[in-house]
Structure 1
Amino acid sequence: MLRLGKTAFALALALPVPALAQDAQTLVIGRAMDVNSLDPARAFCDTCQFYLTAVYETLITLEPDNKTLKPNLAESWENNADFTEFTFHLKDATFADGSPVEASDVVWSFERLKNLKASPSFLMDGLVSAEATDAKTVVVKVDAPNSEFLFKVSAPYAGIVNADAAKEAGAIADETAAEKDQAEPWFLGASAGSGPYTLVKYTPEAELRLARNDGYWGEKPFFAEVVVSQIQDAVGQAQALESGQIDVAMQIDPDTASSMTNADVVTQVVPSFNFLYIALSPAAKGAEKLTPKVREALALAIDYDGMLDFTVGGNGVKQPAPIPNGFPGTAGLTPRSQDLEKAKAMLAEEGVTDLTLLAMYPNDNVYGVDINVMMQKVQQDFSAVGVKLDLQPQTYAVWRENLSGPDGIPVTAVYYAPDYYGSGQYVAYFGMYEGSPWENRAGKDTDKAVDPRIAPLYAKALAASGAEADAVYAEIGQAMMDENIIITLVSPNLVLAHRADITGVRYSACCNLPLAEIARK
C-alpha cells in the first residue's frame, strides 16, 4: 500500500500535545499521520490500518505470528474444495450503538467495499454474491478460485460497518456507490463499528482522538482514550517519547533509536514486511530507451548492499522480488546483486551511450528511509554506468497526479506495506498482467509492460494452497524480477519504541499496531 505523511517538522513540533503520557487512562501515540480517509471502504494508509482495526472489526484477524487466521466477528468459517464459496458464522456481537452485528451488515459492507471502486476495493475483486442465509450466517461466492480470500477479509478495510447508521449518513452499497455515495465526510467525524474504540474527533495533520467503547461486546481495552498526535520527524518523536509527552512513537528509525539512552524508554528493532522500490516505466514520455535489456542493465547497476548502509545503516535486509521476505514463494529467490561490467556491456549492446532519465517521487521519509537519500544513491549507481538521473522530489499530491497523468514517470520510487498476509496482493498490484495498476502505469495503454506469464500463474496460485501455492508464487516472484519494472531496494527493520510502563506494543502484518492490546503497567 502506498503511504505518506506530509506535515512539515517545524509545524508538527509547534502543535500542542493534547495529553501526556503520565495520564494513566490515556494512550498518546506520536506519528506522521497519512490519513486519506476514515471511511473503511475508502481509507488506504498506515494510520488507517490501526484506526480501522480499533473501530471496525473484521470477520477474521491474524494471530501475533502474522500468518495464522483466528476468529474475530466470525466464530467459525469454512470453504468449498475449490475456494469459490466461503461461509461465515457470526458471534453475538454488537455495534457501538448497541445494535446487533448481523449477516446483513456483512453483506452490505462487502458490497459497498466492492462497488465504491476505491483503493481497497481490490479485496472484493471477483465477488459474485454475498448472501445472508440467516441473521448470523453469510455465504460469499467468488467468480474464480481464490485461496487468499479468507486472508483478504482480515484486512482492516474489510471491517464490518453498521449498515443502518451508515445509510442514514448517505452511504450506498449498490452498483451506483462510486457515483452516488455521499458518506465520506460523515466518516471523518463519526464511526459506526463494533470495535473496542470509537472515533471522537479527527483534526487533519494534527490529531486523531478515540474513546473506549464502554459497551464493547468483547474484552474491554485498558485505555479509556487514545490520542494520535502529529509529529512528522523521527527525531521529534524520539524527543517527545523521552520527555514523556507520548507513550508510543511509531516512526523512529534504528539510527535514532540507538541514540536514545533514557531508561524510561524501551526500543526493539524487529524485521518488517515493508519495503521501498523504484519503478521503471518504458511507456512514459522520455523513457523510450527503457527496453528489457536496458532495464536489466539498470537493475545490475544498483549497489544493493551499499543501499542498505546508505539508507538504514544496515538495519534492514535485501528483498529480491516485490513480495516481502517470509511471504509465500519468497524463500528460494536469490537477492539481486551489482554487476557494473555486465551492465555497461548490455547498455553498449543496446546502443545506449547517452541516456538521461527523469525521476519523480514523493519527498518523504518512510520506515526510517529518506526517499531523497535513497534516490541520490540510485543516481550515483546509475552514473557509474553512464546513465544520468534527473531527480525531482515532489509533494505527494503532485507526484500522484504525474504518476497517473498522460506522460507518466520514467523512473519513480515509493513504498509498500502489507494489507494482509498473502502474496497475491503483490501480484495484483505489481504484476505485469493486462489491467493491473503497475501495468497501466508502466505500459500506458501499450503492450510494453505486459508479461504473458503472470495472469495464468496468478490464477494457478489462487487455485492452490500450501506448498503448491508457494511454488507458483516463487515462479511469479522470479518473473517479476526478470521484468525489471519493479526493483526493490530495501526492506527496513522496524523500531518498536514506547515508554517502559507500556505493554502490548507489537507489529502486525494486517493491522500495523493493534491498539486494543496495549496497556499500562
Structure 2
Amino acid sequence: MKKRVLAAIAASLLAAGNMAHAEELTIAFADNLSSLDPQLNNFAGDRSAGLFFFDMLVNNYHNKLLPGLATEWKNTGPTTWEFKLRQGVKWSDGTPFTTEDVIYSIERIRKVPGSVAPFTGYVRTIKSVTEKEPGTLVFETTIPNPGLPLNLASVHLVQKKSTENATSDDFNSGKALIGTGPYKLVSYTPGAGFKVEANPTYWGEKPLWDKVSYRYVANAATRSTALLSGDVDVIDKVSVADLKKLEGDDKVKVYAYNGLRVFLLQPSFNPQPNKFITDNSGKPLDKNPLLDLKVRQALSLAINRDAIADRILQGSVTVADQWMPKDSIGYNPNIKPIAFDAQKAKELLKEAGYPDGFNLTIHVPTDRYPMAPETVQAVAQFWSRIGVKTQVSVVPWAVYSSAARKNEYAMSVIAWGNGTGEGSYAMVNILATVNPDKGLGASNWGHYSSQKLDDYLKQATEEFDDAKREKIMQDAAQSVSDEVGVIPMFHYKNIWAARKGLVVKPLSSDRTVPVMVTKE
C-alpha cells in the first residue's frame, strides 16, 4: 500500500514537472475564421487554422513538393497517378488513417454546403480515386494534369467517420474536428480564436509548442500593443503604422518577407444595369461602361500606384503590374509597369463616350485585407480626378464576400494569396470563366470571361514540360494585362513580429502557424 502511495505521489510530481516545463505560445492573428471545417472556405485564416489539425497528401513549402500523408507519387499514364500512403498514421481519436478517408475527402470537397469560396478548383480534373491495394491509391484525371500533386498540396484530408453529415458547428464544437495534424482542439470561440494542445498520436515530429492560444485580434494597433505588453508572443500582418515603433523596441523583433499575395481591383463584367454605376445625375446607365476596354484602361492608368505604396502602405508592399510577383513562376518580365497618366486616362474616357465621366461605387471589406479601405479611398480620389466620381462602401467581410461572389458590386477588391506559388492558381480561381460545375472561377467576383485566358489555362493544365508550362502562364499574364481583366495594385510583404528570443520563418505563403515559430 505504501509503495502504491509513493508511486502515485511520484507520478503526480512528474506530471506537475512536465506541466511546469510545457512550452506554450500565444499568437494574435488578423484573418478572421469562417469555420474550423478545413474544406469549407478557401480563406487565408481558415487555411492557417486547418494546418493545426489536418494534413495533406503532399506538402508545398516554397514551391518544393514534399511528402505529407503520401510518401511518394508517380505519373503512371497520361491521365493516371499513383500515390503511396504513409503507414501507421492515426487520427486524433486513435483510429487508423485509411485510403477510404482520402477517397471520401476528395468527394466531399465537391459538395460542402454553405461554401462561398470552395476548394473545387483543386480537384476539378479528378475523375476518380480508387484503391489499387491497401495503402496505394490511383487518381484518374479527366485530362492530363502534371499539376495534380501541387493541387493536392492544398486539400486538407478529413476523417470519413466523423465528418459524414457534419455541419460547420460540428467542426467548431470539436465533434467533427478529428485530424491527423500536430494539434488537438481544446476550445474554440467564434470571433475570438481557439486553444489547442499537442496531438499525442501525431505521426510527425513532436511540436515544439505543447499548448497554443490562437487569438483573433482584428485591429492591427491592438495586436502591436498586445505584443509590446507581453500579452502575446507573436503577431501577424503588422501594421505599417506600427513598424517603426516595433523595430525600435528591444523587447521584440520584426520579420518581413516579400510575399505572393496580390491586391487586385475586380471590375464587373455584368452587362446588366448596376445600381452602383450611374450617370452624373444618379440614374442607372443602360450599358455597363466597365465592359469597354478603354474605360478599364483609363481607370488603371489613373492610379498612382507608387504614391499609394509609399504614402499609404509605407513601403510594406511592392507595386504590381500583374498578379504574380517578380521572380515567381508565371511572372512575365516583358509586361511593362503600368504608367500613371491621368491625361491619357481622360482621353480614353472621351474616346469611349464618357467625356464627362460617370458615378461609381467601390466595395471593400473593412476587416479582411491590411490597409484595404485606405487604399481604396486613394483609388477613389484618383478616379474622381478624371471624372469618374467614385464613392467607397466599406462593409464587413461576411456581407462583402457573399455579395461579391454574386457579382452584385460594380467594382470589388480581392487580395489573392497565390498560395501554390505559381500563376495557374489564380488562373483557375480568379480569372477563369465562372463555372461552378467545373470548379472554375470560384473567386472571380467580377465575372471576367476571356476565351484566350481559358485556352491558356487548358494548355497550362495539360503541359508536362515545366519551361513550356511557365511560358504559357506568362502568355496568359500578358493577355489579361492587355484586356485589363483585373486591375493589379501591389503585392503585400508578409510581416510578423515576435517577442525577443523567438524566430519567425514563413512556412508557405502568408500562413501563420506555430511550426513557423522557434527559439533563437
Find 1:107's aligned residue among 103, 106, 113: 103
CA distance in 2, matches of 1:441, 1:25: 43
- Name the stretch that deviates more: 102-111 or 277-286: 277-286
The 5-angstrom pairing of residues 107-506 of structure 1 reads 107-116=103-112, 118=115, 119-155=118-154, 158-166=155-163, 171=164, 181-190=165-174, 191-260=177-246, 261-283=248-270, 285=274, 286=277, 288-290=288-290, 291-332=292-333, 333-364=335-366, 366=368, 369-405=370-406, 408-433=408-433, 435=435, 436-437=440-441, 441-443=445-447, 449-464=448-463, 465-503=465-503, 505-506=504-505
Which of structure 1's runs of 4+ aligned residues deviate more than 4 A? 438-441
CA distance in 1, matches of 2:193, 2:259: 26
**Letter in structure 1 aligned against 2:161:** D
Secondary structure at 1:30 match in 2: strand
CA contact (8 A) 2:90 2:180 kept: yes
- Name the stretch that deviates more: 113-122 or 288-297: 113-122
Secondary structure at 1:262 match in 2: coil
- Could you report, residue by residue, the CA deviation over 1:336-382 in whole angstroms, capped at 9, with x for unpaired residues? 22122222221111221222333242342555x32221112111211
Structure 1 position 33, deviation (Å): 4.1
CA distance in 1, matches of 2:268, 2:139: 37
CA contact (8 A) 2:59 2:65 kept: yes
- Could you report, residue by residue, the CA deviation over 1:242-279 in whole angstroms, capped at 9, with x for unpaired residues? 11111110121244122123212110221011121111
Structure 1 position 509, deviation (Å): 3.1
CA distance in 2, matches of 1:86, 1:460: 19
Secondary structure at 1:86 match in 2: strand
Aligned to 2:82: 87
CA distance in 1, matches of 2:219, 2:51: 25
The yes-or-no answer on 1:59 pairing with 2:57 is yes
CA contact (8 A) 1:310 1:377 kept: no
User: What's the TM-score, normalizing by structure 1?
Assistant: 0.85
Secondary structure at 2:264 match in 1: strand
Structure 1 position 486, deviation (Å): 1.1
**Letter in structure 2 aligned against 1:380:** Q
What fraction of aligned residue pairs are identical, expressed as a percent? 22
Structure 1 position 133, deviation (Å): 1.5
CA contact (8 A) 2:259 2:510 kept: no
In structure 2, relative to structure 1, the CA distance for the partners of 1:517 and 1:214 (3 Å cut) is: farther
In structure 2, relative to structure 1, the CA distance for the partners of 1:279 and 1:357 (3 Å cut) is: farther
Aligned to 2:46: 48
Secondary structure at 2:185 match in 1: strand
CA contact (8 A) 2:358 2:387 kept: no
The structure that has the greater radius of gyration is 2
- Could you report, residue by residue, the CA deviation over 1:265-313 in whole angstroms, capped at 9, with x for unpaired residues? 1102210111211111142513622211111111111112112113311
CA distance in 2, matches of 1:400, 1:366: 10
**Letter in structure 2 aligned against 1:85:** T
In structure 2, relative to structure 1, the CA distance for the partners of 1:76 and 1:511 (3 Å cut) is: farther
- Name the stretch that deviates more: 194-203 or 507-516: 507-516
Unaligned runs of 5+ in 2: 1-19, 278-286
Secondary structure at 2:84 match in 1: strand
Structure 1 position 317, deviation (Å): 0.8
In structure 2, relative to structure 1, the CA distance for the partners of 1:258 and 1:394 (3 Å cut) is: same
**Letter in structure 1 aligned against 2:239:** D
CA distance in 1, matches of 2:132, 2:151: 22
CA contact (8 A) 2:238 2:497 kept: yes
**Letter in structure 2 aligned against 1:460:** Q
CA contact (8 A) 2:308 2:375 kept: yes
User: What's the TM-score, normalizing by structure 2?
Assistant: 0.85
Structure 1 position 386, deviation (Å): 1.8
**Letter in structure 2 aligned against 1:58:** M
- Name the stretch that deviates more: 136-145 or 506-515: 506-515
Aligned to 1:78: 74
Unaligned runs of 5+ in 1: 1-21, 172-180, 444-448
CA distance in 2, matches of 1:73, 1:265: 36
- Could you report, residue by residue, the CA deviation over 1:101-134 in whole angstroms, capped at 9, with x for unpaired residues? 2222111111111233741122111221001122
CA distance in 2, matches of 1:350, 1:399: 30
The yes-or-no answer on 1:25 pairing with 2:16 is no
**Letter in structure 1 aligned against 2:75:** N
CA distance in 2, matches of 1:132, 1:259: 56
Secondary structure at 1:96 match in 2: coil
CA contact (8 A) 2:53 2:183 kept: yes
Structure 1 position 507, deviation (Å): 2.1
**Letter in structure 2 aligned against 1:266:** K
Structure 1 position 520, deviation (Å): 4.2
**Letter in structure 2 aligned against 1:469:** R
CA distance in 1, matches of 2:443, 2:43: 22
- Could you report, residue by residue, the CA deviation over 1:482-510 in whole angstroms, capped at 9, with x for unpaired residues? 2223111111212121112223x222335
Secondary structure at 1:437 match in 2: coil
Structure 1 position 205, deviation (Å): 1.2
RMSD of aligned residue pairs (Cα, Å): 2.3
